[in-house]
Amino acid sequence: MATFPTAWLLSKKTSNANLGSLKEMVVVELRVQAYLNLQELRQITWDAAASSPYICLSCPITALVSDEFNRTLLTNLTLKCYVLDVRLERLQMSRLTQLIKQELTKRNLLSPALISGLLADYAPAGQAPREAAQ
């Protein structure tokens, strides 16, 4: 345990990692089918971030894409942006996830068959996957 006298803290220069700024980076990660158009996917995510009332538009918005194989080929989408206040971080994450999923569903880019197939392969600890139980 470390303790600092209050008088010492008030008389010396102190700093933190973000220099007192309330801006906070928000990272939203989504996994979607690998066959989706990457330019369209990046545009959807960028538009969702840019339209948010919590976003700090003077900071960069970045959409990163990578692939992974986990029972099927998936594309990992990582969206990074900044909020105006650290207290808005969770609201921003929730809003972005909701907006992106709504737009993908509206454009028929999410495959319910694939999603239900992926979910059926996963089972809670101690239970067999659905296809093994049938």
Mind listing the pLDDT tens digit for each residue in 48-73? 999 999 999 899 999 999 998 878 88
Helix axes 38-50 and 89-106, enclosed angle (nearest 10): 140
Cross-strand bridge partners of residue 67: 75
What is the model's pTM? 0.67
Q: What is the mean pLDDT of the chain?
A: 78
Distance CA 41, CA 100 (A): 9
**pLDDT for 22-43, tens place per residue?**
788 999 998 888 888 989 999 9
The tokens of 132 are what?
Answer: 């093994």
Which amino acid is located at 5 in the chain?
Answer: P
Which residue's structure tokens are 């690998």? 34
The tokens of 125 are what?
Answer: 């600890």
Is the pLDDT at 85 greater than 60, yes or no?
A: yes
Domain ranges of the chain: 24-110
Report the CATH fold assignment for 24-110.
Alpha-Beta Plaits (3.30.70)
